[in-house]
């Protein structure tokens, strides 16, 4: 047994789950020995206690990593795409075999309830299958040429190393969305996970590295992982050797990363904060709207980018809907995410709890009536931050309602007609996810039309969270405009070539331009 595989309580970490982490890594056939250090303390939100101490990568490590990624890219881009897909297929199979262990690890480090953790691991498996299919479908176009005996085509080549910066709330899926697609497109990849969830990241990355090591076509350093904080992410943003930066996180992070990548004319895909709304129309199926609303508002303890944060309810049903909503949220089981009966696990840390309480104070000062929102003591875990999700009746869409507070706070507004509801829905700077609960086909279509929701995700009779992998995922306005995966977003990871071939004996110029020269 190597040092790190001992229960960590003996040295630098002493929480209830430190020993189990080592055990889970052992079950995966992985070791953390080389990753251990004294730079970064990792905690479990379940009990607020340490899980592990890790070493962080420094600037010179990052330089070496980027150089290695560049070399790996030169080899990998020559491997036929279906063979690249085979690597991803093997990885998906390995993740499937270890689904339960990976889900438990994810819950222990991130705090989402086990069923949601299993869903996230399933998402990794699903995206692998999606990417494998894609590896045989990276198709171009044939375009009608205006010139006789000319062929005009568009096709796609790998673009270069991907640098992927990810947030704590989806510690595996977002990486898999970007990385598996980038790999089948012919790129190498470096992952800078959140400093709050590096253990889950190490497990997923090391499993992929193991598959790559056993795959004859995969070069060394095809997939690397960088443990670090914002500074480490900044190095990726600035580095000219990173062709494409996919960054998922807060708007503040995206404002920094986006500008830094743009300054060097790199390519970025930004997946940033949301402030998602649901409209509940008078014709809605109320039971369905309540269930959809409650999961969307409280799932992952309100820490999804697609979490429902604003509820816009028609005047005629507002009072009754809010009464039922408050009662239902009041009855949710709050507790250990490892227990089957739990609906809502802990917040990630104290900073998240403090931000939630500050937001609730501001809501009160802006005229809101707060239901719930208090800290809940969960037996055995006094150092953790469990909360009752808050439902806040607001007199108007005031300043605090327009902000994304990454915690379970649902602001409730009312509306008189659909134009007003859509104006409220669109009246914030974020543009990620939106939905309407209605049985009126005109309203449903209007909501999805050009004069409806301005978000990247527009749902009818479904909550704002829980997107499937097939559709392009991302949002507009300060959400960043990126589409990290799904649909045709593979094109983000490739460069487009427009090629014209002249197979005639003359040289006609486009647009009829004449340039006659007397040359044989």
CA distance 228 to 347: 22
| Residues 377-416, mask of contacts with ligand NAD (x by CB under 6 A) | ---------------------------x-x----------
Residue 123 in contact with ligand NAD, rule: CB under 6 A? no
Residue 238 in contact with ligand NAD, rule: CB under 6 A? no
Residue 167 in contact with ligand NAD, rule: CB under 6 A? yes
Number of residues that bind ligand NAD (CB under 6 A): 31
Give the nearest distance from C-beta 476 to ligand NAD in angstroms: 11
Give the nearest distance from C-beta 199 to ligand NAD in angstroms: 14
Residue 177 in contact with ligand NAD, rule: CB under 6 A? no
Single residue of 23, 229, 420, 476 touching ligand NAD by CB under 6 A: 229
| Residues 302-331, mask of contacts with ligand NAD (x by CB under 6 A) | ---x--------------------------
CA distance 301 to 268: 29
Catalytic residues: 271, 305
> Which listed range, 17-25, 133-141, 266-274, 414-422, lies at the site for ligand NAD (CB under 6 A)?
266-274
Residue 237 in contact with ligand NAD, rule: CB under 6 A? yes
Radius of gyration of the chain (CA): 25
Q: Are the beta carbons of 31 and 4 closer than 8 angstroms? A: yes
Q: Which residue in the block uniquely carries the two structure tokens 């897909």?
A: 85
Specify the residue, 275 or 414, whose C-beta has the smaller distance to ligand NAD: 275
Nearest to 154 by CA among 501, 407, 481, 508: 501
Q: Are the beta carbons of 179 and 162 closer than 8 angstroms? A: yes
Nearest to 389 by CA among 340, 352, 428: 352
H/E run at residue 360: helix 350-365
Cα-to-chain-centroid distance, residue 135: 22
Give the nearest distance from C-beta 37 to ligand NAD in angstroms: 17
Residue 272 in contact with ligand NAD, rule: CB under 6 A? yes
Single residue of 244, 253, 387, 394 touching ligand NAD by CB under 6 A: 253
Report the b/e string of 94-125 with b at 16+ CB within 10 A. bbeebeebbbbbbbbbbbbbbebbbbbbbbbb
Report the b/e string of 331-348 with b at 16+ CB within 10 A. ebebbbbbeeebbbbbbb
> Which listed range, 164-172, 293-301, 327-335, 420-428, lies at the site for ligand NAD (CB under 6 A)?
164-172
What is the crossing angle of helices 114-134 and 99-110, to 10°? 120
Residue 168 in contact with ligand NAD, rule: CB under 6 A? yes
CA distance 50 to 27: 21
Single residue of 110, 479, 485, 492 touching ligand NAD by CB under 6 A: 479
Residue nearest to ligand NAD (CB): 233
Residues pairing with 298 in the sheet: none
| Residues 423-442, mask of contacts with ligand NAD (x by CB under 6 A) | ---------x----------
Residue 165 in contact with ligand NAD, rule: CB under 6 A? yes
Residues pairing with 436 in the sheet: 279, 460
Residue 492 in contact with ligand NAD, rule: CB under 6 A? no
Query: φ, ψ for residue 498 (rounded to 5)?
Result: -105, 120
Q: Are the beta carbons of 268 and 247 closer than 8 angstroms? A: yes
Residue 246 in contact with ligand NAD, rule: CB under 6 A? no
Single residue of 20, 35, 47, 195 touching ligand NAD by CB under 6 A: 195
Q: Encoding tokens for residue 357?
A: 């309480």
Specify the residue, 53 or 290, whose C-beta has the smaller distance to ligand NAD: 53
- Enumerate binding residues for ligand NAD (CB under 6 A): 165-170, 174, 192, 194-195, 229-230, 233-234, 237, 248-250, 253, 256-257, 271-274, 305, 404, 406, 432, 475, 479
């Amino acid at each position: 047994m190597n040092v790190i595989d001992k229960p960590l309580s003996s040295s630098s970490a002493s929480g209830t789950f430190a020993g189990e982490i080592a055990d889970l890594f052992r079950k995966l056939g992985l070791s953390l020995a080389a990753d251990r250090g004294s730079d970064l303390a990792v905690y479990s939100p379940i009990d607020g206690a340490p899980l592990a101490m890790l070493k962080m990568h420094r600037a010179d490590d990052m330089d070496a990593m980027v150089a290695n990624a560049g070399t790996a890219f030169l080899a990998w881009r020559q491997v036929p795409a279906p063979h690249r897909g085979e690597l991803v297929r093997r990885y998906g199979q390995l993740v499937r075999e270890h689904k339960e262990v990976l889900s438990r690890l994810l819950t222990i480090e991130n705090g989402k309830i086990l069923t949601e953790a299993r869903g996230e691991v399933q998402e990794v498996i699903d995206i692998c299958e999606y990417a494998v299919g894609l590896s045989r479908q990276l198709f171009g176009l044939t375009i009608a040429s205006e010139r006789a005996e000319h062929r005009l085509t568009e096709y796609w080549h790998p673009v270069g190393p991907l640098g992927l910066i990810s947030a704590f709330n989806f510690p595996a899926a977002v990486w898999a969305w970007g990385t598996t697609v980038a790999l089948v497109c012919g790129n190498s990849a470096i992952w800078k996970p959140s400093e709050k969830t590096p253990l889950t990241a190490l497990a997923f990355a090391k499993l992929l590295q193991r598959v790559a090591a056993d795959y004859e076509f995969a070069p060394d350093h095809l997939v690397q992982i960088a443990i670090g904080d914002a500074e480490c992410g900044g190095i990726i943003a600035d580095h000219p050797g990173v062709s494409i930066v996919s960054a998922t996180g807060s708007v503040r992070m995206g404002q920094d990363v986006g500008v830094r990548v743009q300054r060097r004319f790199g390519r970025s895909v930004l997946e940033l904060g949301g402030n998602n709304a649901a409209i509940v129309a008078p014709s809605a199926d109320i039971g369905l709207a309540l269930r959809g609303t409650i999961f969307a508002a409280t799932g992952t303890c309100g820490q999804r980018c697609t979490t429902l944060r604003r509820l816009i309810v028609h005047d005629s049903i507002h009072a009754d809907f809010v009464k039922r909503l408050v009662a239902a949220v009041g009855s949710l089981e709050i507790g250990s995410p490892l227990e089957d009966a739990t609906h809502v696990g802990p917040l990630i840390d104290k900073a998240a709890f403090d931000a939630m309480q500050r937001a609730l104070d501001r809501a009160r000062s802006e005229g809101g009536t707060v239901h719930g929102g208090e800290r809940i003591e969960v037996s055995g875990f006094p150092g953790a931050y469990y909360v009752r999700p808050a439902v806040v009746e607001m007199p108007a869409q005031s300043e605090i309602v327009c902000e994304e507070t990454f915690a379970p706070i649902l602001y409730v507004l009312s509306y008189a007609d659909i134009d007003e509801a859509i104006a409220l829905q669109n009246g914030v700077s974020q543009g990620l996810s939106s939905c309407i609960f209605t049985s009126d086909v005109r309203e449903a279509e209007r909501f999805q039309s050009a004069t409806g929701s301005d978000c990247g995700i527009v749902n009818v009779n479904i909550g704002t969270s829980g997107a499937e992998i097939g559709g392009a995922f991302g949002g507009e306005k300060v959400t960043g405009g990126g589409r990290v995966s799904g649909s045709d977003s593979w094109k983000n990871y490739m460069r487009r070539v427009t090629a014209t071939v002249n197979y005639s004996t003359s040289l006609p110029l486009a647009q009829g331009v004449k340039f006659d020269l007397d040359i044989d």
